[in-house]
């Protein structure tokens, strides 16, 4: 009895369409098999802003790795699969989020410095006003040496009699 041999299935090459949603050109070098025409095995893919390109699906995890609903690593984590909802980048690799956070931190620091400067200015103005008030009071009050002593007052009273 001859055994039937099932034909080996040759996996069909499947591609994934990746889209560049950013305003930057993205360049990815993928390592494929070395050939006589390409001894390094490097294959360069370039996405212009808004461009969509197909790449063999075997490179999906090299382009972008998703864990717990966030993109956590990859050669081009900002790329999105065409036709799918974008997956948010983990804050650890999101350069735009890092820039926004840095801007917020710098703004907060500048506001704190402004508040401290205004407090110092108000304090200095209060000290200046207090000094001016003291000087005005000192000019208005006669000095101790200008006031007649009791003996002088009594002498003036006797002289006036």
For the segment 19-44, what is each residue's pLDDT rounded down to a tens digit? Answer: 999 899 999 999 888 888 888 888 89
Number of structural domains in the chain = 2
Do both 68 and 128 map to the same domain?
no
Q: What is residue 36's predicted lDDT score, i.e. its pLDDT?
A: 87
Hey, which bits of 24-103 come out as E strands?
Answer: 26-31, 42-47, 52-56, 65-67, 70-73, 80-81
- Cβ count within 10 A of residue 30: 17
Residue 100 lies in a domain: yes
Q: What is residue 95's predicted lDDT score, i.e. its pLDDT?
A: 75
Rounded distance between C-alpha atoms, residue 107 and residue 115, angstroms: 12
**Which domain, by its residues, includes 104?**
94-140
Residue 159 lies in a domain: no
| pLDDT, average across residues 82-111 | 85
Residue 35 lies in a domain: no
120: three-class secondary structure by DSSP: helix
Q: Is the dihedral of CA 69, 71, 72, 74 positive or negative?
A: positive
Greater confidence, 139 or 51?
Answer: 51
Final residue belonging to a domain, choices 93, 110, 128: 93
Q: What is residue 118's predicted lDDT score, i.e. its pLDDT?
A: 92
Q: How confident is the model at residue 145 (pLDDT cuts 50, 70, 90)?
A: low
């Amino acid at each position: 009895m001859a055994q039937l041999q099932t034909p080996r299935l040759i996996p069909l090459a499947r591609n994934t369409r990746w889209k560049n949603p950013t305003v930057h050109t993205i360049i990815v070098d993928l390592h494929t098999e070395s050939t006589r025409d390409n001894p390094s095995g490097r294959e360069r893919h370039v996405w212009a802003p808004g461009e969509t390109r197909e790449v063999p699906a075997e490179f999906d995890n090299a382009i972008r790795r998703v864990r717990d609903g966030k993109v956590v690593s990859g050669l081009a984590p900002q790329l999105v699969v065409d036709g799918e909802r974008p997956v948010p980048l983990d804050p650890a690799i999101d350069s735009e989020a890092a820039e926004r956070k840095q801007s917020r931190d710098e703004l907060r620091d500048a506001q704190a410095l402004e508040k401290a400067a205004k407090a110092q200015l108000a304090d200095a103005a209060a000290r200046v006003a207090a000094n001016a008030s003291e000087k005005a009071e000192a000019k208005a009050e006669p000095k101790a040496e200008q006031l007649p002593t009791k003996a002088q007052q009594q002498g003036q009273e006797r002289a006036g009699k």
